[in-house]
Structure 1
């Protein structure tokens, strides 16, 4: 077993659209400097990434101890120590059980009966307005926002415009003024704390009430962590799902227009395509998801020293030639065939994405029904002209002008 001491590689260029084509080379773990200037061990191979995601010797919580350089943009809600994604062990399990009790794949499947008509209502409005049209605000962002607000019983308290504004500050990048980030986050946290208090007194048939009841049954949940969970569920669900749908539409309409009618003809094929789109298209420039090695760990013939930061390149793992059959010219492979191995785009192990069933359902329905309704849909301009919305974890089109 060896410990690599080669000169560090500085990765100082963010991924640029089309960012699904910009993937770091797959190989053994190597020492790098991240874009924020902190050193890390870069892990790119599928089985190595899976080990880091599932091995308790690689911690998230330890990244936030006083003697560790903070990962990424510290102002982003993703890097808040109270976030569920930054808990380990029993602390993480308690928070996760709150959501798992109410956010099961079976429950999500039951939601299809009212989500599908909602998709059709949004398409009715889009078609009635007529071409040309922007897909992002009235469809791509509207769908997950409206769904999560209804699920959580937040209709009349927040709406899609408010949620989009809050998500911009909760997931802010360095271009957003710090004072404004802190102000919006404080206001949003207080609003959700008030909702939690109200549902404790008068519980209803909604996700917030279910989560509050589950937290009381499980016990031991700090109020700050519960408030952060309630804040992050709607913003993460709306922002991440909208980014996944929007980025997928850029790829499908910009590079694979020949597949568009096929997506609308078969829901089963739309489900297969959705899995490949989730797998291959990163949500944003934040290529790395980091862990902290709590002790020396042997990984791929290299010793990762205890106390090191480990940077996971999930997009690279998704192109590992030992696992997936892809080519440089067509990295997606056959868009309508099953993946050769489970995707790591939604994580693995204890931190596997709790919202994965809902993300899949919304992507499948939104892409399938849009293609079925508008088989002749096409972009009005080149992909290169798209203006991109940037965040700490996502990159997606601000507008996507189409006609039909």
Structure 2
């Protein structure tokens, strides 16, 4: 497992064989310890559940300081997540001001209002899938179009083509390797699109998320346009990539190793419990970590982390901490979690899209199992070719029923 902030490599060719993500291992939960990250940055690795939560909720550990002039950092490809202008890399009032412009659209109450419409999209996609008949690729028929349709409607981008989004996403979540001319060109194109979208909604506001973002930002008056541009890019690309990976990797596990449990997901309550367990136990990428920097000496788990140190927290390790999550219950899909999952982080940088992702995964598994109880993979898991960005998910997943 790679413990490093940033993203996995975006590849335009089939990746080498990799285990499915439910088989990826993580460092054992233990006291904080010095490590060297893959980009050669020295850091402190934090793995225990309570220690990870402490780092994520303690304001003395921040993201913005990772971009300070004296921060130990390797240069790489600038993208919508790896830039000081990103909401993810700001702290305190600056972060809250930007987050406030969009968080209303992702609260549990708001997402619940959206649930009937999301459910109708799920049903329509399953209708189309059934009409097409087996065998087919469930990625192309379902796991890609569902998040794209939901996010396009939420942001008022119904005319945006999936191919265009995937083209931009290759830049949006590029890795830490040196930038190429093509990446720079695509990045500029993506930012130009976002800037134009913001300008259009200022002149012609609607009932979409971008319009409300512009209204809130203009009322605030203190948010730089560059930050809004990166926010739009991150929402457009990130909301699709994460949900696609979550649903796809859950299907790999359920249909590949837990086929006997698949029909039980036709029960909506059981599907909801299982969805939370799956989000908790199956990462959406090979790198389940996040970084912060200590503003002062801080004691974490009995270890003093010096001021200025980079801290890498392992969400995957925290979600497997035996002191919180008994290993003997880890394989029980229908057992409620013993504590809140770290899959979405904690503190001020808690994932904005957590409830929307939960809703999409729950409805997807529940309705697919209810309508297609005989759904099965037609090729072995070992033959899967993976799509890689900050996430990893099946590029295609042939199924029949």
Do Structure 1 and Structure 2 share a fold, with TM-score over 0.5?
yes
| Matched-pair contact (CA < 8 Å) for 1:74–1:80 | no
Instruction: After TM superposition, list the pairs within 5 Å mapping 1:145-224 onto structure 2.
Output: 145-156=148-159, 158-173=160-175, 178-224=180-226
Q: Does 1:301 align with 2:299?
A: no
Q: Deviations over 1:175-228 (max 9, x none)?
A: 897222211111111111111111111111111111111112222100000111
Q: Quick one: distance in 2 between partners of 1:175 and 1:73?
A: 5
* Structure 1 residue 292 corresponds to structure 2 residue 296: no
Matched residues, number: 388
Instruction: Output one character per residue of 1:47-72: Cα deviation in whole Å (capped at 9) or x when no partner.
Output: 00000100011110000112223379
Find the aligned partners of 1:310 and 1:277 in 2 and give their Cα distance. Answer: 27
Secondary structure of 2:105 counterpart: coil
SS of the counterpart of 1:79?
A: coil
For residue 25 of structure 1, the aligned residue among 9, 22, 28 is 28
Q: Shift of the alpha carbon at 1:164?
A: 2.0
Gapped regions of structure 2 (runs ≥ 5)? 9-16
Q: 1:111: which partner in 2? A: 114
Residues 172, 233 of structure 2: 8 Å contact kept? no
- Select between 237-246 and 175-184 the one with higher mean Cα deviation: 175-184
Q: Deviations over 1:76-95 (max 9, x none)?
A: 42211111110000100001
Q: CA separation in 2, counterparts of 1:367 and 1:352? A: 24
Question: 1: distance between equivalents of 2:212 and 2:325?
Answer: 40
TM-score (norm 2): 0.92
Shift of 1:332: 2.9
| Distance in 2 of aligned mates of 1:118 and 1:41 | 44
Structure-2 separation of matches of 1:62 and 1:175 = 21
Partner of 1:134 in structure 2? 137
Taking the aligned partners of 1:66 and 1:288, their CA distance within structure 2 comes to 23
**Deviation for aligned residue 1:378:** 0.8
Q: Is the contact made by 2:67 and 2:84 (CA closer than 8 Å) also made in structure 1?
A: yes
Q: Choose which of 50, 53, 60 in structure 1 pairs with 2:56.
A: 53
Q: Does 1:88 align with 2:86?
A: no
Instruction: Please report how far the alpha carbon of residue 174 of structure 1 lies from its aligned counterpart in structure 2 after TM superposition.
Output: 5.9
CA contact (8 A) 1:326 1:332 kept: yes
Partner of 2:104: 101
Q: Greater relative contact order (Cα 8 A, min sep 6): structure 1 or 2? A: 2
Matched, 1:247 2:249: yes
Q: 1:72/1:141 Cα in 2 relative to 1: closer, same or farther (>3 Å)?
A: farther
Question: Partners in 2 of 1:151 and 1:283 — Cα distance?
Answer: 22
Give the corresponding residue for 1:69: 72
2:233 — aligned with what? 231
**Conserved? CA contact 1:170–1:181, under 8 Å:** no
CA–CA distance in 1 between the matches of 2:276 and 2:288?
19
Q: Give the Cα separation in 2 of the matches to 1:123 and 1:248.
A: 17
RMSD of aligned C-alpha atoms?
1.9
Relative to structure 1, the CA distance from residue 124 to residue 358 in structure 2 (aligned partners, 3 Å threshold; closer, same or farther) is same
Go from structure 1 to structure 2 and tell me whether the alpha carbon gap of 1:182 and 1:102 turns closer, same or farther (over 3 Å shift).
same
Q: CA deviation at 1:11?
A: 6.9
Segment of structure 1 superposing worse, 255-264 or 175-184: 175-184
In structure 2, distance between residues paired with 1:348 and 1:171 = 22
1:41 counterpart = 2:59: no
SS in 2 for 1:162: helix
Aligned to 2:308, the other structure's residue is in SS state: coil
Offset from partner CA, 1:322-368 (integer Å, 9 cap, x none): 101124xxx73321121000011101111111111101111111111
